[in-house]
Amino acid sequence: MIPKFRALAARWTTAVPVLGVVLLVLTWGRDLPGLVVALVTAVLAGAVLSAVHHAEVIAHRVGEPFGSLVLAVAVTIIEVALIVTLMVDGGDKSATLARDTVFAAVMITCNGIVGLCLLTGALRHRVAVFNSEGTGAALATVATLATLSLVLPTFTTSKPGPEFSTSQLTFAALASLVLYGLFVATQTVRHRDYFLPVTKHGKVVDGDDHAEVPSSRTALISLGLLGLALIGVVGLAKGVSPTIESGVESAGLPHAVVGVIIALLVLLPETIAAVRAARRDRVQTSLNLALGSAMASIGLTIPAVAIASVWLSGPLVLGLSSTHMVLLVLTVLVGTLTVVPGRATPLQGGVHLVLFAAYLELAVNP
């Protein structure tokens, strides 16, 4: 039965990404009736699960922290393309879309995914153990990027409103790229051991023996299918975005909720992969995925929208409101207290999840 199950899983995880791209081509730029929206949503869910499967195959082949980096960067690059596309099509109402989506990604990853993984790992293995040196470096980078890109625009005076001037936006974009590049070099070259899972006794786990290592050919095929799956996820999410926007407007919710929903859809593959890693007592892998995604979201989105602003006619609002700044400060403070010991109980996971719930509540009722 197990070989048959694996063969069936291999077939559907190969077919769904291709189906997703075909459906994307057929529906791109068209008004979708309710039945087609339901079909797109079903394929979107399948593409998410397929992306997680292929990301885990690649991660098992290349090892940590490269596997987490592949998924985080792949998702974020396509997320950036989605944001820029929506900004080009959306007019003035999309002025805050980049800010809302990036901040949503930070809250989802640093509180939602981190809290869920710490809670899962601690409940299953009594204590969730991770490397505080690598995780602390990642959190510090996320905090710096978020402050430079999302907090400072609220206080600058060169341009009215929570916006950067051209030179300030250029600096923020370059700083984001430099910091992200430095972190990737630290994570993958100079201090790779800081980002590897550890046992309860502090021993670094380099490798994973829970399954046979896939061949290079299998990993390359999974890499291609991962790309197709992610293109399908983000493209189909854009296809249903008019339905999302109309639903948000009909419910009388703030337009910022659209950014939250988009970020939730795009980050689904990383969320599932991170929780699976936490269940296997690889909480460091979960944190690599979560904080790496937050970092990539800021570090790649801000330069992209800086370039896009050259031809975008409307304003580009990046500065956070006072309420969101309070949430960001509290997230960094609580994250620091969580990271320092290098281990967490269900309490820390619950604290992060409550912060995430507070963010969702304030997004719906600002």
Question: How far, in Å, CA of 157 to CA of 44, rounded?
Answer: 43
Give per-residue pLDDT as tens, 9-55: 557 788 888 888 888 888 877 777 778 878 887 887 788 778 777 87
Residue 2 lies in a domain: no
Residue-level pLDDT at 99: 86
Q: How far, in Å, CA of 47 to CA of 49, rounded? A: 5
pLDDT at 216: 79
Per-residue confidence (pLDDT) for residue 109, from 0 to 100: 93
- pLDDT of the residue at 307: 83
Cα–Cα distance, 360 to 76 (Å, whole number): 21
In degrees, rounded to 5, the angle at the alpha carbon of residue 271 between the alpha carbons of residues 265 and 273 is 125
Which of the two residues, 342 and 191, has the higher pLDDT score?
342
Task: Label each residue of the chain as H, E or C.
Answer: CHHHHHHHHHHHHHHHHHHHHHHHHHHCCCCCCHHHHHHHHHHHHHHHHHHHHHHHHHHHHHCCCHHHHHHHHHHHHHHHHHHHHHHHHHHHHHCCHHHHHHHHHHHHHHHHHHHHHHHHHHHHHCCEECCHHHHHHHHHHHHHHHHHHHHHHHCCCCCCCCCCCHHHHHHHHHHHHHHHHHHHHHHHHHCHHHHCCECCCCCECCCCCCCCCCCHHHHHHHHHHHHHHHHHHHHHHHHHHHHHHHHHHHCCCCCHHHHHHHHHHHCHHHHHHHHHHHHCCCHHHHHHHHHHHHHHHHHHHHHHHHHHCCCCCCCCCCCCCHHHHHHHHHHHHHHHHHHCCCEECHHHHHHHHHHHHHHHHHHHCC
Domain assignment of residue 221, yes or no: yes
Enter the tokens of residue 22. Answer: 């075909």
Residue 1 inside a domain? The answer is: no
Do the domain assignments include residue 6? Answer: no
Share of the chain above pLDDT 70, in %: 88
Least confident of 15-29, 221-235, 236-250: 236-250
Host domain of residue 133: 12-364
The pLDDT mean for the chain works out to 82
CATH of the domain at 73: 1.20.1420.30
**Global pTM value:** 0.81
Q: What is the mean pLDDT of residues 222-233?
A: 82
94-112 pLDDT per residue, tens: 777 788 888 998 999 999 9
Q: Note whether residue 7 is domain-resident.
A: no
Q: Rounded to the nearest 5°, which phi and psi values hold at 198? A: -130, 155
Asked if residue 234 belongs to a domain, the reply is yes
Q: Residue 298 — pLDDT band, cuts 50, 70, 90? A: confident
Count structural domains, the chain.
1
Given a cut of 80, whether residue 152 has pLDDT beyond it is yes
Over residues 244-272, mean pLDDT: 79
Q: What is the pLDDT of residue 3?
A: 47
Mean pLDDT, rounded, for 258-272:
80
- pLDDT of 7 over the 60 cut: no
Cα separation of 102 and 79, whole Å? 10
Identify the residue with better confidence: 171 or 31: 171
pLDDT (average), residues 188-215: 72
In this predicted model, what pLDDT tens digit does every residue of 55-83 receive, in sequence order? 777 877 776 667 667 767 777 776 776 67
Give domain status of residue 5, yes or no: no
Q: Name, in order, each residue with C-beta under 8 angstroms of 215's C-beta and a sequence gap of 6 or more.
A: 61
Q: Which two tokens stand for residue 242?
A: 């008019």
The whole-number pLDDT of residue 211 equals 54
Residue bearing the bigger pLDDT, 117 or 317: 117
At 358 the pLDDT is: 95
Per-residue model confidence (pLDDT) at position 1: 42
Residue 208 falls inside a structural domain = yes
Checking if the pLDDT of 274 tops 70, the result is: yes
